[in-house]
């Protein structure tokens, strides 16, 4: 029996609950529910019209119910009278298979049955821009190598420290904040944890950053490539599998270092092999927008590097690869960007990792080269999709991801993303005019 939100509201003086959920495009939807009504909502869910969000539903569908998960409750540190709760979607008395949080929970359950508990940490980069979104917010932030720039970091201290203070208050254990590689770009890191907790926090982090930036007259964006000449917004994830008690890291090489010298267990290499095997199809989830493909496969930025992968490779502590092994017992997936759906991304790579383990997929030897300089010399390397259309088409055909995520989710996602591509394709750009007018 989960704890009563009504009782928590009384104890913690919460007047309203944001009963929230995330659709297939990662958009955060909510109803603001007064505490007096939360008891019924906790039992039956808050009602929504599914067609009104990015789920493949029609106006004729019955009510969609968002049932809040009390475990996910976050009391807003900057508005403590409000409690945010992540919810699971239900319809006709059944969980909605094509909803992202339900999909992640389903994968975690499968992993649990095999004795694996996935822990993750995410690095959500964002830009602080003007309210119109046309330029970065700080006109003095013009260094060509602005990463870790102390002056540019401290000019945004009011925003950055307020977000960090909130994370401290929430018990997330934040440990560093920095100015990232693009002008106007920042990253804030907090401790890794169980995958669902990290996903809920990831969703809330994006809401918190945007809200606090707005309070300061700014706008925060997680857009993968908001400015052509600058480094884009990645969303790297650090991943490891643990035993059921969460005390033993199953990705850690036991005894001496492994023969590849990266400190990973055979299980970790199988999981890594599973991700490499499905990577170009996973791009549809990890890089879910038209704009995403301008971050990967991008030309060099003004800072000297994009920091984004173009190819499907892995190595040790080398940031030019899609997968980096920065330390013993975990690896970092560097393909995801700021538009990736916190639940779907994790559900996607978990499916691929379980496939890697079930089918003993060998990732091959790590590629110890600078991929930005010498990538062309690695002849066996597979490229990532060049655009959203290619990614969606190959995702649609991937039997492993389809079997793992389910037809209902994959079909809905592919249909909606193809609509998105069609909308982009029918848009007439100034590039076409510039290059075709005198044809
Ligand atoms: Mg970063």
Annotate 309-346 with three-state secondary structure: CCECCEECCCCCCCEEEEECCEEEECCCECCCCHHHHH
| Coil/strand/helix, residue 284 | helix
Question: How many angstroms does the Cα of residue 173 sit away from the middle of ligand 1?
Answer: 18
- pLDDT at position 1: 54
Question: How many angstroms does the Cα of residue 333 sit away from the middle of ligand 1?
Answer: 12
State how beta strands 82-91 and 16-22 pair: parallel
In a domain, 306, yes or no: yes
CATH number at residue 79: 3.10.20.70
- pLDDT at position 236: 97
My answer on whether 359 and 421 are in the same domain is yes
CATH number at residue 114: 3.30.590.10
Question: How many angstroms does the Cα of residue 266 sit away from the middle of ligand 1?
Answer: 28
Question: How many angstroms does the Cα of residue 352 sit away from the middle of ligand 1?
Answer: 24
| Coil/strand/helix, residue 257 | coil
My answer on whether 115 and 80 are in the same domain is no
Question: How many angstroms does the Cα of residue 147 sit away from the middle of ligand 1?
Answer: 10
Question: How many angstroms does the Cα of residue 184 sit away from the middle of ligand 1?
Answer: 13
- pLDDT at position 379: 76
My answer on whether 43 and 129 are in the same domain is no
Computed over every residue of the chain, the mean pLDDT equals 95
- pLDDT at position 338: 98
Question: How many angstroms does the Cα of residue 80 sit away from the middle of ligand 1?
Answer: 30
By CB neighbour count within 10 A (0-12 exposed, 13-18 middle, 19+ buried), where does 21 fall? buried
Residue 209 CB contacts under 8 Å (≥ 6 apart), including other chains: 124, 126, 163, 220, 222
Question: How many angstroms does the Cα of residue 361 sit away from the middle of ligand 1?
Answer: 29
Residue-wise pLDDT for 100-117, tens only, equals 999 999 999 999 999 999
In a domain, 86, yes or no: yes
What residues make up the domain containing 62?
A: 10-91
Residue pair 150/141 in contact by the 8 Å Cβ criterion: no
Q: How many helices (H) and strands (E) does the chain have?
A: 13, 17
- pLDDT at position 59: 94
- pLDDT at position 87: 98
Residue-wise pLDDT for 31-65, tens only, equals 999 999 999 999 999 999 988 999 999 999 999 99
Question: How many angstroms does the Cα of residue 234 sit away from the middle of ligand 1?
Answer: 7
* Run means of pLDDT, 10 residues per run, the chain, 439 residues: 90 98 97 97 94 92 96 97 98 95 98 98 98 97 96 98 98 98 97 98 98 98 96 97 97 85 95 97 98 90 84 91 94 97 98 98 91 80 93 97 97 98 96 95
Question: How many angstroms does the Cα of residue 187 sit away from the middle of ligand 1?
Answer: 6
My answer on whether 30 and 160 are in the same domain is no
CA-based torsion, 25, 284, 372, 176: positive or negative: positive
My answer on whether 156 and 245 are in the same domain is yes
My answer on whether 229 and 201 are in the same domain is yes
Question: How many angstroms does the Cα of residue 166 sit away from the middle of ligand 1?
Answer: 21
Question: How many angstroms does the Cα of residue 125 sit away from the middle of ligand 1?
Answer: 6
């Amino acid at each position: 029996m989960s704890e009563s939100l009504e009782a928590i509201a009384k104890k913690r003086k919460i007047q309203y609950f944001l009963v929230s959920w995330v659709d297939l495009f990662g958009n955060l939807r909510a109803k603001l529910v007064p505490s007096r009504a939360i008891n019924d909502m906790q039992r039956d869910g808050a009602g929504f019209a599914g067609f009104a969000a990015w789920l493949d539903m029609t106006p004729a569908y019955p009510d969609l119910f968002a049932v809040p998960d009390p475990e996910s409750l976050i009391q807003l540190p900057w508005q403590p009278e409000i409690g945010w709760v992540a919810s699971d979607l239900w319809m006709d008395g059944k969980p909605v298979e094509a909803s992202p949080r339900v999909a992640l929970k389903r994968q975690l359950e499968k992993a649990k049955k095999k004795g694996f508990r996935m822990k993750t940490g995410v690095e959500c980069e964002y830009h602080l821009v003007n309210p119109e979104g046309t330029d970065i917010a700080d006109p003095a932030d013009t260094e060509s190598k602005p990463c870790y720039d102390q002056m540019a970091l401290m000019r945004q201290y009011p925003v950055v420290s307020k977000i960090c203070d909130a994370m401290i208050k929430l018990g997330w254990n934040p440990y560093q904040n920095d100015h990232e590689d693009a002008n106007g770009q920042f990253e804030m890191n907090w401790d890794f944890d169980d995958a669902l907790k990290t996903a809920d926090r990831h969703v809330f982090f994006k809401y918190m950053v945007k809200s606090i930036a707005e309070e300061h007259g700014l706008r925060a964006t997680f857009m993968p490539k908001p400015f052509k000449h600058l480094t884009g917004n990645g969303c790297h994830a650090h991943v490891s599998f643990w035993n059921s008690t969460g005390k033993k890291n199953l990705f850690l090489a036991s005894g001496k270092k492994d023969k590849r010298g990266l400190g990973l267990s055979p299980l970790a290499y199988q999981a890594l092999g599973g991700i490499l095997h499905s990577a170009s199809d996973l791009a549809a989830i990890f890089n879910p927008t038209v704009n995403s493909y301008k971050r990967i496969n991008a030309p060099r930025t003004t800072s000297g590097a994009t920091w984004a992968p173009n190819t499907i490779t892995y190595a040790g502590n080398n940031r030019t690869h899609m997968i980096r092994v920065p330390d013993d017992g975990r690896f970092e997936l560097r393909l995801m960007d700021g538009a990736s759906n916190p639940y779907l991304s994790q559900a996607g790579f978990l499916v691929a990792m379980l496939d890697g383990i079930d089918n003993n997929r060998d990732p091959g030897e790590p590629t110890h080269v600078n991929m930005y300089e010498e990538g062309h010399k690695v002849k066996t390397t597979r490229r990532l999709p060049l655009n959203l259309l290619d990614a969606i088409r190959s995702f649609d055909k991937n039997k492993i991801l389809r079997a793992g995520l389910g037809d209902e989710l994959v079909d809905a996602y592919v249909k909606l993303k193809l609509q998105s591509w069609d909308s982009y394709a029918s848009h007439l750009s100034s590039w076409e005019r510039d290059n075709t007018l005198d044809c």
